[in-house]
Copies of this chain bind each other. A is one copy, B any other.
Amino acid sequence: MRSMSALIESAALSDFIAALGDDAVISDPEALHEWRDPFAHPTWDDYTASAVVLPATVEQVQDVVRIANRHGVALWTHSTGRNFGYGGPAPRVRGSVIVSLRRMDRVLEIDEECAYAVVEPGVRWFDLYEAIQAGGHRLMLSIADLGWGSVIGNTLDHGVTYMPYGVDMGMQCGMEVVLPDGTLMRTGMGAMPGNRSWNVYKRGLGPTPDQLFMQSNYGIVTKMGVWLMPEPEVYMPLWLRVWRDDDLGPVIDTLRVLMLEGTIRMVPQLMNTMLLGAVLSKRSDWFAGEGPMPNEAIDRMARELEIGRWCMRFALYGDEAVVDHRFAKIREAFGRIPGAEVWGTKVAPKDIPSLEHPAERIQGGVPNLDWNNMTAWYGGEEGGHIGFSPVGRLTGADGIALRDLLRGMVQDAGLDYIAGLLPVNARSFVHITMVIFDTKDLAQTTAAYDVSRRLVVEAAKRGYGEYRAHLDFMDLAAEQYSFNDHAYRRFTETIKDALDPNGILSPGKQGIWPVRLRPER
Protein backbone atom coordinates (compact mmCIF):
# COMPACT_ATOMS: atom_id res chain seq x y z
CA MET A 1 0.00 0.00 0.00
CA ARG A 2 1.17 3.49 -0.85
CA SER A 3 2.26 5.40 2.24
CA MET A 4 1.95 8.82 0.66
CA SER A 5 0.74 11.47 3.01
CA ALA A 6 -0.49 15.01 2.59
CA LEU A 7 -1.38 16.37 6.02
CA ILE A 8 -3.23 19.62 5.84
CA GLU A 9 -1.75 22.84 7.22
CA SER A 10 -3.72 25.06 9.53
CA ALA A 11 -3.68 27.97 7.07
CA ALA A 12 -5.60 25.91 4.53
CA LEU A 13 -7.99 24.75 7.21
CA SER A 14 -8.69 28.36 8.19
CA ASP A 15 -9.45 29.23 4.58
CA PHE A 16 -11.88 26.33 4.26
CA ILE A 17 -13.62 27.46 7.45
CA ALA A 18 -13.77 31.06 6.25
CA ALA A 19 -15.34 29.96 2.96
CA LEU A 20 -17.77 27.30 4.19
CA GLY A 21 -18.39 28.06 7.85
CA ASP A 22 -17.37 26.20 10.97
CA ASP A 23 -19.96 23.47 10.75
CA ALA A 24 -18.90 22.51 7.24
CA VAL A 25 -15.30 21.59 8.10
CA ILE A 26 -14.43 18.50 10.12
CA SER A 27 -10.88 17.90 11.31
CA ASP A 28 -11.23 16.32 14.72
CA PRO A 29 -9.53 12.88 14.50
CA GLU A 30 -12.37 11.24 16.41
CA ALA A 31 -14.99 12.68 14.05
CA LEU A 32 -12.91 11.69 11.04
CA HIS A 33 -13.29 8.06 12.03
CA GLU A 34 -16.60 7.68 10.25
CA TRP A 35 -14.95 8.80 6.98
CA ARG A 36 -12.63 5.79 6.82
CA ASP A 37 -13.09 2.77 4.57
CA PRO A 38 -15.63 0.97 6.77
CA PHE A 39 -14.21 -2.42 5.81
CA ALA A 40 -10.55 -1.63 6.47
CA HIS A 41 -9.07 -3.27 9.55
CA PRO A 42 -9.31 -0.87 12.54
CA THR A 43 -5.52 -0.81 12.93
CA TRP A 44 -4.91 0.40 9.37
CA ASP A 45 -4.70 4.08 8.53
CA ASP A 46 -3.37 4.23 4.97
CA TYR A 47 -6.42 6.06 3.74
CA THR A 48 -7.18 8.42 6.57
CA ALA A 49 -8.20 11.96 5.64
CA SER A 50 -6.93 15.14 7.39
CA ALA A 51 -10.27 16.87 7.12
CA VAL A 52 -13.67 16.75 5.52
CA VAL A 53 -15.30 19.77 3.90
CA LEU A 54 -19.01 19.86 3.17
CA PRO A 55 -19.87 22.48 0.56
CA ALA A 56 -23.57 23.16 0.10
CA THR A 57 -23.49 25.10 -3.17
CA VAL A 58 -21.68 25.12 -6.50
CA GLU A 59 -19.95 28.35 -5.50
CA GLN A 60 -18.65 26.70 -2.35
CA VAL A 61 -17.28 23.81 -4.43
CA GLN A 62 -15.46 26.38 -6.57
CA ASP A 63 -14.12 28.02 -3.40
CA VAL A 64 -12.84 24.69 -2.11
CA VAL A 65 -11.01 23.98 -5.34
CA ARG A 66 -9.44 27.43 -5.42
CA ILE A 67 -8.27 27.15 -1.80
CA ALA A 68 -6.79 23.72 -2.55
CA ASN A 69 -4.87 25.16 -5.50
CA ARG A 70 -3.57 28.01 -3.35
CA HIS A 71 -2.29 25.71 -0.62
CA GLY A 72 -1.41 22.66 -2.72
CA VAL A 73 -3.90 20.54 -0.78
CA ALA A 74 -4.95 17.16 -2.19
CA LEU A 75 -8.74 16.84 -2.32
CA TRP A 76 -10.77 13.64 -2.61
CA THR A 77 -14.32 13.99 -3.85
CA HIS A 78 -17.24 11.76 -3.14
CA SER A 79 -20.96 12.30 -3.53
CA THR A 80 -22.31 10.43 -0.51
CA GLY A 81 -19.31 8.14 0.03
CA ARG A 82 -21.18 4.85 -0.13
CA ASN A 83 -18.59 3.29 -2.43
CA PHE A 84 -18.53 0.22 -0.16
CA GLY A 85 -16.37 -2.64 -1.29
CA TYR A 86 -14.16 -0.21 -3.19
CA GLY A 87 -13.00 2.01 -0.32
CA GLY A 88 -16.14 3.81 0.87
CA PRO A 89 -15.65 7.53 1.49
CA ALA A 90 -11.88 7.30 2.04
CA PRO A 91 -9.24 9.02 -0.10
CA ARG A 92 -6.48 7.32 -2.05
CA VAL A 93 -3.81 9.60 -0.57
CA ARG A 94 -3.50 9.66 3.22
CA GLY A 95 -4.11 13.13 4.59
CA SER A 96 -6.25 14.34 1.68
CA VAL A 97 -9.20 16.60 2.39
CA ILE A 98 -12.44 14.83 1.60
CA VAL A 99 -14.90 16.96 -0.32
CA SER A 100 -18.20 15.38 0.64
CA LEU A 101 -21.14 16.54 -1.45
CA ARG A 102 -23.79 15.13 0.90
CA ARG A 103 -25.23 18.58 1.59
CA MET A 104 -25.87 19.24 -2.10
CA ASP A 105 -28.98 17.13 -2.01
CA ARG A 106 -31.55 18.89 -4.12
CA VAL A 107 -33.65 17.32 -6.86
CA LEU A 108 -33.57 20.36 -9.14
CA GLU A 109 -36.08 19.31 -11.74
CA ILE A 110 -38.38 16.50 -12.74
CA ASP A 111 -39.59 16.82 -16.32
CA GLU A 112 -42.69 14.71 -16.84
CA GLU A 113 -42.98 15.45 -20.56
CA CYS A 114 -39.50 14.23 -21.53
CA ALA A 115 -39.11 11.89 -18.54
CA TYR A 116 -35.96 13.01 -16.79
CA ALA A 117 -34.69 14.53 -13.57
CA VAL A 118 -31.77 16.82 -12.79
CA VAL A 119 -30.05 16.16 -9.48
CA GLU A 120 -27.21 17.30 -7.28
CA PRO A 121 -24.55 14.80 -6.11
CA GLY A 122 -25.92 14.39 -2.59
CA VAL A 123 -29.23 13.03 -3.91
CA ARG A 124 -29.58 9.37 -2.96
CA TRP A 125 -31.71 6.75 -4.73
CA PHE A 126 -34.11 7.09 -1.77
CA ASP A 127 -34.38 10.87 -2.28
CA LEU A 128 -35.01 10.85 -6.01
CA TYR A 129 -37.53 8.02 -5.67
CA GLU A 130 -39.37 9.97 -3.00
CA ALA A 131 -39.35 13.16 -5.07
CA ILE A 132 -40.84 11.30 -8.02
CA GLN A 133 -43.56 9.86 -5.78
CA ALA A 134 -44.23 13.18 -4.08
CA GLY A 135 -44.70 14.87 -7.44
CA GLY A 136 -47.17 12.21 -8.55
CA HIS A 137 -45.09 11.44 -11.62
CA ARG A 138 -45.74 8.13 -13.34
CA LEU A 139 -42.04 7.64 -13.90
CA MET A 140 -39.64 4.95 -12.70
CA LEU A 141 -36.02 5.26 -11.66
CA SER A 142 -33.45 2.58 -12.41
CA ILE A 143 -31.67 2.09 -9.07
CA ALA A 144 -28.66 0.32 -7.59
CA ASP A 145 -28.91 -2.48 -5.02
CA LEU A 146 -28.55 -0.20 -2.01
CA GLY A 147 -30.84 2.82 -1.77
CA TRP A 148 -28.45 4.93 0.29
CA GLY A 149 -26.04 5.47 -2.62
CA SER A 150 -25.81 8.67 -4.62
CA VAL A 151 -27.36 8.76 -8.08
CA ILE A 152 -24.42 10.78 -9.36
CA GLY A 153 -21.79 8.95 -7.34
CA ASN A 154 -22.89 5.56 -8.62
CA THR A 155 -22.93 6.80 -12.20
CA LEU A 156 -19.48 8.34 -11.92
CA ASP A 157 -17.99 5.07 -10.71
CA HIS A 158 -19.60 3.07 -13.54
CA GLY A 159 -21.95 1.55 -10.99
CA VAL A 160 -24.69 -0.75 -12.21
CA THR A 161 -28.45 -0.26 -12.07
CA TYR A 162 -30.98 -2.82 -13.24
CA MET A 163 -33.88 -1.45 -15.24
CA PRO A 164 -33.73 -0.93 -19.05
CA TYR A 165 -31.88 2.38 -18.71
CA GLY A 166 -29.29 0.56 -16.63
CA VAL A 167 -28.02 -1.16 -19.78
CA ASP A 168 -24.64 0.40 -20.55
CA MET A 169 -25.63 3.19 -18.15
CA GLY A 170 -28.00 4.76 -20.65
CA MET A 171 -29.57 7.07 -18.08
CA GLN A 172 -27.01 9.88 -17.76
CA CYS A 173 -27.61 12.96 -19.93
CA GLY A 174 -25.91 16.30 -19.37
CA MET A 175 -23.48 17.39 -16.65
CA GLU A 176 -22.31 20.47 -14.85
CA VAL A 177 -18.73 20.19 -13.62
CA VAL A 178 -16.35 22.27 -11.53
CA LEU A 179 -12.96 21.82 -13.19
CA PRO A 180 -9.78 21.59 -11.10
CA ASP A 181 -9.09 25.30 -11.62
CA GLY A 182 -12.55 26.25 -10.35
CA THR A 183 -14.09 26.88 -13.79
CA LEU A 184 -17.75 25.88 -14.04
CA MET A 185 -18.51 23.98 -17.26
CA ARG A 186 -21.65 22.45 -18.70
CA THR A 187 -21.41 19.60 -21.18
CA GLY A 188 -23.39 18.87 -24.31
CA MET A 189 -26.20 21.24 -25.14
CA GLY A 190 -25.75 22.75 -21.67
CA ALA A 191 -22.76 24.61 -23.09
CA MET A 192 -25.23 26.84 -24.93
CA PRO A 193 -26.99 29.40 -22.71
CA GLY A 194 -30.75 28.86 -22.63
CA ASN A 195 -30.59 25.52 -24.47
CA ARG A 196 -33.39 23.24 -23.24
CA SER A 197 -32.00 20.09 -24.86
CA TRP A 198 -29.23 19.69 -22.26
CA ASN A 199 -30.87 16.73 -20.55
CA VAL A 200 -32.52 15.12 -23.58
CA TYR A 201 -29.74 14.98 -26.19
CA LYS A 202 -26.56 13.21 -25.11
CA ARG A 203 -24.09 15.29 -27.06
CA GLY A 204 -23.35 18.82 -28.13
CA LEU A 205 -21.21 20.28 -30.88
CA GLY A 206 -17.68 18.90 -30.65
CA PRO A 207 -16.41 16.06 -28.48
CA THR A 208 -18.62 14.81 -25.65
CA PRO A 209 -16.73 14.93 -22.34
CA ASP A 210 -19.29 13.37 -19.99
CA GLN A 211 -17.68 9.92 -19.88
CA LEU A 212 -14.37 11.60 -19.16
CA PHE A 213 -15.64 12.65 -15.72
CA MET A 214 -16.51 9.07 -14.77
CA GLN A 215 -13.85 7.01 -12.91
CA SER A 216 -11.47 9.94 -13.15
CA ASN A 217 -10.15 12.96 -11.30
CA TYR A 218 -10.77 15.66 -13.89
CA GLY A 219 -13.62 17.55 -12.24
CA ILE A 220 -16.34 17.63 -9.59
CA VAL A 221 -19.77 16.93 -11.03
CA THR A 222 -22.32 19.28 -9.46
CA LYS A 223 -25.42 18.55 -11.57
CA MET A 224 -26.49 15.66 -13.77
CA GLY A 225 -29.48 14.72 -15.89
CA VAL A 226 -31.02 11.28 -15.22
CA TRP A 227 -33.47 9.64 -17.60
CA LEU A 228 -36.59 8.11 -16.09
CA MET A 229 -38.82 5.42 -17.58
CA PRO A 230 -42.57 5.90 -17.94
CA GLU A 231 -44.40 3.33 -15.84
CA PRO A 232 -45.13 0.28 -18.01
CA GLU A 233 -48.53 -1.41 -18.04
CA VAL A 234 -46.99 -4.42 -16.34
CA TYR A 235 -43.88 -5.18 -14.32
CA MET A 236 -42.95 -8.84 -14.06
CA PRO A 237 -40.04 -9.75 -11.78
CA LEU A 238 -38.67 -13.14 -12.79
CA TRP A 239 -36.53 -15.86 -11.28
CA LEU A 240 -34.48 -18.58 -12.89
CA ARG A 241 -33.10 -21.46 -10.84
CA VAL A 242 -30.73 -24.23 -11.90
CA TRP A 243 -29.38 -27.07 -9.82
CA ARG A 244 -25.93 -27.88 -11.14
CA ASP A 245 -22.93 -25.62 -10.84
CA ASP A 246 -22.01 -26.20 -14.48
CA ASP A 247 -25.44 -25.06 -15.64
CA LEU A 248 -23.83 -21.61 -15.52
CA GLY A 249 -22.54 -22.15 -19.07
CA PRO A 250 -25.83 -22.89 -20.84
CA VAL A 251 -27.63 -20.27 -18.71
CA ILE A 252 -25.28 -17.56 -19.99
CA ASP A 253 -25.43 -18.72 -23.59
CA THR A 254 -29.23 -18.77 -23.49
CA LEU A 255 -29.36 -15.40 -21.79
CA ARG A 256 -27.11 -13.83 -24.44
CA VAL A 257 -29.45 -14.88 -27.24
CA LEU A 258 -32.47 -13.53 -25.35
CA MET A 259 -30.71 -10.23 -24.63
CA LEU A 260 -29.32 -9.81 -28.15
CA GLU A 261 -32.77 -10.23 -29.65
CA GLY A 262 -34.25 -7.79 -27.10
CA THR A 263 -36.52 -10.28 -25.34
CA ILE A 264 -34.74 -9.36 -22.11
CA ARG A 265 -33.75 -5.71 -21.93
CA MET A 266 -32.49 -4.84 -18.45
CA VAL A 267 -29.56 -5.92 -16.27
CA PRO A 268 -30.10 -9.37 -14.71
CA GLN A 269 -28.19 -10.56 -11.68
CA LEU A 270 -27.01 -14.15 -11.85
CA MET A 271 -26.02 -15.29 -8.35
CA ASN A 272 -24.36 -18.39 -7.02
CA THR A 273 -25.85 -20.16 -4.02
CA MET A 274 -23.70 -18.32 -1.55
CA LEU A 275 -24.45 -14.81 -2.81
CA LEU A 276 -28.21 -15.10 -2.47
CA GLY A 277 -27.67 -17.34 0.56
CA ALA A 278 -25.69 -14.57 2.25
CA VAL A 279 -28.62 -12.20 1.78
CA LEU A 280 -31.02 -14.71 3.30
CA SER A 281 -28.94 -16.43 6.00
CA LYS A 282 -25.64 -16.67 7.83
CA ARG A 283 -22.73 -19.00 7.19
CA SER A 284 -23.07 -20.64 10.59
CA ASP A 285 -26.54 -21.86 9.60
CA TRP A 286 -24.83 -24.22 7.17
CA PHE A 287 -21.27 -24.87 8.18
CA ALA A 288 -19.22 -24.41 11.32
CA GLY A 289 -15.79 -25.51 10.08
CA GLU A 290 -12.70 -23.66 8.99
CA GLY A 291 -11.87 -22.89 5.35
CA PRO A 292 -14.20 -22.63 2.39
CA MET A 293 -17.63 -24.14 2.74
CA PRO A 294 -17.64 -27.65 1.21
CA ASN A 295 -19.74 -28.52 -1.80
CA GLU A 296 -22.16 -30.66 0.24
CA ALA A 297 -23.05 -27.74 2.50
CA ILE A 298 -23.57 -25.51 -0.54
CA ASP A 299 -25.90 -28.10 -2.06
CA ARG A 300 -27.87 -28.21 1.17
CA MET A 301 -28.18 -24.40 1.17
CA ALA A 302 -29.28 -24.55 -2.45
CA ARG A 303 -32.05 -27.01 -1.59
CA GLU A 304 -33.21 -25.71 1.76
CA LEU A 305 -33.29 -22.04 0.76
CA GLU A 306 -34.72 -23.16 -2.62
CA ILE A 307 -32.24 -20.99 -4.48
CA GLY A 308 -30.41 -23.59 -6.59
CA ARG A 309 -26.71 -23.54 -7.45
CA TRP A 310 -27.29 -20.52 -9.63
CA CYS A 311 -30.26 -18.27 -9.38
CA MET A 312 -31.03 -15.29 -11.61
CA ARG A 313 -33.20 -12.32 -10.79
CA PHE A 314 -34.44 -10.45 -13.86
CA ALA A 315 -37.61 -8.80 -15.08
CA LEU A 316 -39.89 -7.78 -17.92
CA TYR A 317 -41.46 -4.34 -18.33
CA GLY A 318 -44.11 -3.42 -20.88
CA ASP A 319 -47.56 -4.01 -22.25
CA GLU A 320 -49.13 -7.14 -20.83
CA ALA A 321 -49.43 -8.80 -24.23
CA VAL A 322 -45.74 -8.29 -24.95
CA VAL A 323 -44.72 -9.40 -21.46
CA ASP A 324 -46.79 -12.59 -21.84
CA HIS A 325 -45.19 -13.34 -25.20
CA ARG A 326 -41.72 -12.77 -23.83
CA PHE A 327 -42.25 -14.76 -20.68
CA ALA A 328 -43.38 -17.77 -22.71
CA LYS A 329 -40.31 -17.42 -24.91
CA ILE A 330 -37.96 -17.11 -21.94
CA ARG A 331 -39.46 -20.13 -20.21
CA GLU A 332 -39.15 -22.18 -23.36
CA ALA A 333 -35.53 -21.12 -23.94
CA PHE A 334 -34.27 -21.86 -20.42
CA GLY A 335 -36.47 -24.96 -20.34
CA ARG A 336 -33.93 -26.65 -22.59
CA ILE A 337 -31.55 -26.77 -19.60
CA PRO A 338 -32.47 -29.91 -17.61
CA GLY A 339 -34.01 -29.01 -14.26
CA ALA A 340 -34.11 -25.27 -14.93
CA GLU A 341 -37.15 -23.43 -13.60
CA VAL A 342 -38.41 -19.95 -14.47
CA TRP A 343 -41.21 -18.20 -12.64
CA GLY A 344 -42.58 -14.79 -11.85
CA THR A 345 -45.74 -12.79 -11.23
CA LYS A 346 -47.05 -9.80 -13.09
CA VAL A 347 -47.85 -6.73 -11.04
CA ALA A 348 -49.05 -3.21 -11.71
CA PRO A 349 -46.39 -0.55 -11.05
CA LYS A 350 -48.36 0.85 -8.11
CA ASP A 351 -47.98 -2.49 -6.30
CA ILE A 352 -44.19 -2.71 -6.49
CA PRO A 353 -43.55 -1.15 -3.03
CA SER A 354 -45.49 -3.96 -1.39
CA LEU A 355 -43.56 -6.79 -3.04
CA GLU A 356 -41.95 -8.96 -0.38
CA HIS A 357 -38.62 -9.83 -1.97
CA PRO A 358 -36.12 -6.95 -1.95
CA ALA A 359 -34.77 -7.96 -5.39
CA GLU A 360 -38.25 -7.55 -6.86
CA ARG A 361 -38.42 -4.05 -5.41
CA ILE A 362 -34.89 -3.18 -6.60
CA GLN A 363 -35.64 -4.21 -10.18
CA GLY A 364 -38.90 -2.28 -9.87
CA GLY A 365 -37.08 0.89 -8.86
CA VAL A 366 -38.11 0.96 -5.18
CA PRO A 367 -34.96 1.49 -3.12
CA ASN A 368 -34.13 -0.47 0.06
CA LEU A 369 -31.14 -1.69 2.05
CA ASP A 370 -31.97 -5.37 2.37
CA TRP A 371 -29.26 -6.48 -0.05
CA ASN A 372 -26.71 -5.24 2.47
CA ASN A 373 -27.27 -8.25 4.72
CA MET A 374 -24.77 -10.35 2.86
CA THR A 375 -21.67 -8.81 4.38
CA ALA A 376 -22.62 -10.27 7.76
CA TRP A 377 -22.02 -13.72 6.27
CA TYR A 378 -19.27 -14.61 8.73
CA GLY A 379 -21.38 -13.41 11.66
CA GLY A 380 -21.55 -10.28 13.76
CA GLU A 381 -22.21 -6.75 12.58
CA GLU A 382 -18.68 -6.18 11.35
CA GLY A 383 -18.74 -7.93 8.01
CA GLY A 384 -16.89 -6.30 5.17
CA HIS A 385 -16.23 -7.09 1.55
CA ILE A 386 -13.94 -6.25 -1.29
CA GLY A 387 -15.50 -6.13 -4.72
CA PHE A 388 -13.30 -7.82 -7.28
CA SER A 389 -15.06 -7.28 -10.57
CA PRO A 390 -13.59 -8.36 -13.89
CA VAL A 391 -15.47 -8.07 -17.20
CA GLY A 392 -16.01 -10.94 -19.60
CA ARG A 393 -17.78 -11.70 -22.86
CA LEU A 394 -21.32 -12.88 -22.20
CA THR A 395 -20.57 -16.46 -23.18
CA GLY A 396 -20.82 -19.67 -21.24
CA ALA A 397 -17.16 -20.39 -21.89
CA ASP A 398 -16.06 -17.08 -20.34
CA GLY A 399 -18.44 -17.50 -17.41
CA ILE A 400 -17.09 -20.95 -16.61
CA ALA A 401 -13.46 -19.89 -17.11
CA LEU A 402 -13.83 -16.97 -14.70
CA ARG A 403 -15.73 -19.06 -12.17
CA ASP A 404 -13.02 -21.69 -12.17
CA LEU A 405 -10.21 -19.18 -11.84
CA LEU A 406 -11.81 -17.05 -9.14
CA ARG A 407 -13.31 -19.88 -7.14
CA GLY A 408 -10.01 -21.72 -7.09
CA MET A 409 -8.04 -18.71 -5.89
CA VAL A 410 -10.59 -17.51 -3.34
CA GLN A 411 -10.96 -20.99 -1.85
CA ASP A 412 -7.18 -21.45 -1.76
CA ALA A 413 -7.16 -18.36 0.46
CA GLY A 414 -9.59 -20.13 2.80
CA LEU A 415 -12.55 -17.95 1.81
CA ASP A 416 -15.90 -18.63 0.21
CA TYR A 417 -16.54 -17.93 -3.48
CA ILE A 418 -19.51 -15.55 -3.46
CA ALA A 419 -20.33 -14.45 -6.99
CA GLY A 420 -22.80 -12.34 -8.92
CA LEU A 421 -22.63 -11.99 -12.69
CA LEU A 422 -24.18 -8.80 -14.05
CA PRO A 423 -24.71 -8.71 -17.82
CA VAL A 424 -24.56 -4.94 -18.26
CA ASN A 425 -25.45 -5.34 -21.92
CA ALA A 426 -26.26 -8.18 -24.31
CA ARG A 427 -22.59 -8.93 -24.97
CA SER A 428 -20.69 -8.65 -21.68
CA PHE A 429 -20.93 -9.21 -17.97
CA VAL A 430 -19.26 -7.88 -14.87
CA HIS A 431 -18.34 -10.74 -12.56
CA ILE A 432 -18.71 -9.29 -9.08
CA THR A 433 -16.71 -11.44 -6.68
CA MET A 434 -17.75 -10.53 -3.16
CA VAL A 435 -14.63 -11.25 -1.14
CA ILE A 436 -16.40 -11.21 2.23
CA PHE A 437 -14.56 -11.21 5.54
CA ASP A 438 -14.98 -10.38 9.21
CA THR A 439 -13.32 -6.97 9.61
CA LYS A 440 -12.52 -7.78 13.25
CA ASP A 441 -10.49 -10.81 12.19
CA LEU A 442 -7.08 -9.49 11.12
CA ALA A 443 -5.91 -12.78 9.63
CA GLN A 444 -9.07 -13.19 7.55
CA THR A 445 -9.03 -9.54 6.48
CA THR A 446 -5.41 -9.80 5.41
CA ALA A 447 -6.11 -13.01 3.52
CA ALA A 448 -8.97 -11.27 1.70
CA TYR A 449 -6.77 -8.36 0.66
CA ASP A 450 -3.96 -10.65 -0.39
CA VAL A 451 -6.10 -12.85 -2.58
CA SER A 452 -7.80 -9.82 -4.13
CA ARG A 453 -4.43 -8.48 -5.13
CA ARG A 454 -3.50 -11.79 -6.71
CA LEU A 455 -6.86 -11.95 -8.49
CA VAL A 456 -6.20 -8.64 -10.24
CA VAL A 457 -3.01 -10.00 -11.77
CA GLU A 458 -4.12 -13.54 -12.54
CA ALA A 459 -7.39 -12.45 -14.17
CA ALA A 460 -5.52 -9.90 -16.30
CA LYS A 461 -3.07 -12.56 -17.50
CA ARG A 462 -6.10 -14.31 -18.97
CA GLY A 463 -7.47 -11.11 -20.52
CA TYR A 464 -10.07 -10.17 -17.91
CA GLY A 465 -9.89 -6.60 -16.59
CA GLU A 466 -11.63 -4.97 -13.65
CA TYR A 467 -14.51 -2.58 -14.36
CA ARG A 468 -13.81 -0.68 -11.10
CA ALA A 469 -11.08 -0.99 -8.53
CA HIS A 470 -10.80 -0.84 -4.75
CA LEU A 471 -8.54 1.91 -3.33
CA ASP A 472 -5.95 -0.67 -2.41
CA PHE A 473 -5.75 -2.12 -5.90
CA MET A 474 -6.29 0.92 -8.10
CA ASP A 475 -2.68 1.17 -9.19
CA LEU A 476 -2.33 -2.56 -9.64
CA ALA A 477 -5.53 -2.77 -11.65
CA ALA A 478 -4.52 0.20 -13.84
CA GLU A 479 -1.10 -1.41 -14.31
CA GLN A 480 -2.78 -4.27 -16.19
CA TYR A 481 -4.06 -1.93 -18.91
CA SER A 482 -0.62 -1.77 -20.46
CA PHE A 483 -1.20 -1.93 -24.23
CA ASN A 484 1.65 -0.19 -26.07
CA ASP A 485 3.68 0.68 -23.03
CA HIS A 486 0.68 2.09 -21.14
CA ALA A 487 -0.48 4.40 -23.93
CA TYR A 488 -3.88 4.78 -22.24
CA ARG A 489 -2.41 5.73 -18.86
CA ARG A 490 -0.06 8.22 -20.51
CA PHE A 491 -3.07 9.69 -22.31
CA THR A 492 -5.11 10.01 -19.12
CA GLU A 493 -2.18 11.56 -17.26
CA THR A 494 -1.45 14.03 -20.09
CA ILE A 495 -5.04 15.23 -19.73
CA LYS A 496 -4.71 15.22 -15.94
CA ASP A 497 -1.68 17.51 -16.03
CA ALA A 498 -3.34 19.85 -18.51
CA LEU A 499 -6.55 20.23 -16.50
CA ASP A 500 -5.04 20.05 -13.01
CA PRO A 501 -1.46 21.33 -13.17
CA ASN A 502 -1.21 21.55 -9.36
CA GLY A 503 -2.48 18.01 -8.99
CA ILE A 504 -5.05 18.82 -6.33
CA LEU A 505 -8.05 16.77 -7.39
CA SER A 506 -8.36 13.15 -6.23
CA PRO A 507 -4.77 12.15 -7.00
CA GLY A 508 -4.42 8.44 -7.68
CA LYS A 509 -8.08 7.86 -8.53
CA GLN A 510 -8.19 4.76 -10.77
CA GLY A 511 -4.41 4.93 -11.04
CA ILE A 512 -4.27 8.42 -12.57
CA TRP A 513 -1.57 10.49 -10.85
CA PRO A 514 -0.77 14.15 -11.38
CA VAL A 515 2.84 14.91 -12.22
CA ARG A 516 3.75 16.10 -8.70
CA LEU A 517 2.73 12.79 -7.12
CA ARG A 518 3.37 10.41 -9.99
CA PRO A 519 5.19 7.29 -8.81
CA GLU A 520 8.30 5.86 -10.44
CA ARG A 521 7.09 3.06 -12.68
Residue A373 lies at the interface, judged by CB distance under 8 Å to chain B: no
Report A196-236 CB contacts with B as 1/0, cut-off 8 Å.
11001111111111111111101000000001011010000
- Contacting B at CB under 8 A, from A384-401, are 391-395, 398
Residue A168 lies at the interface, judged by CB distance under 8 Å to chain B: yes
Identical chains in the assembly: 2
Residues of B within 8 A of A257 (CB): 230
Residue A44 lies at the interface, judged by CB distance under 8 Å to chain B: no
Residues of B within 8 A of A305 (CB): none
Residue A497 lies at the interface, judged by CB distance under 8 Å to chain B: yes
- Contacting B at CB under 8 A, from A33-63, are none
Q: Is the CB of B391 within 8 A of A197?
A: yes
Residues of B within 8 A of A326 (CB): 322
Specify which of A425, A465, A490 lies most central, judged by the most chain B CB atoms within 10 Å of its CB: A465
> Once bound together, how far apart are the Cα atoms of A469 and B205, in whole Å?
8
Residue A256 lies at the interface, judged by CB distance under 8 Å to chain B: yes
Given the known interface contacts A115-B260, A260-B115, A511-B205, the answer about A487 and B186 at a Cβ–Cβ threshold of 8 Å is yes
Q: Is the CB of B205 within 8 A of A466?
A: yes
Q: Is the CB of B427 within 8 A of A114?
A: yes
Residue A84 lies at the interface, judged by CB distance under 8 Å to chain B: no
Residues of B within 8 A of A492 (CB): 206-207, 209
Q: Is the CB of A201 within 8 A of B427?
A: yes
Closest to A390 in B: B197
- Contacting B at CB under 8 A, from A408-462, are 424-428, 460, 462
| A210 partner, pick from B211, B467, B469, B478, beta carbons under 8 A | B211
22 residue pairs bridging A and B, Cβ less than 8 Å apart? A114-B393, A114-B394, A115-B427, A158-B203, A164-B262, A185-B483, A185-B488, A191-B488, A194-B462, A195-B464, A196-B463, A200-B427, A205-B465, A205-B510, A205-B511, A206-B511, A207-B216, A209-B212, A211-B212, A261-B318, A321-B321, A495-B498
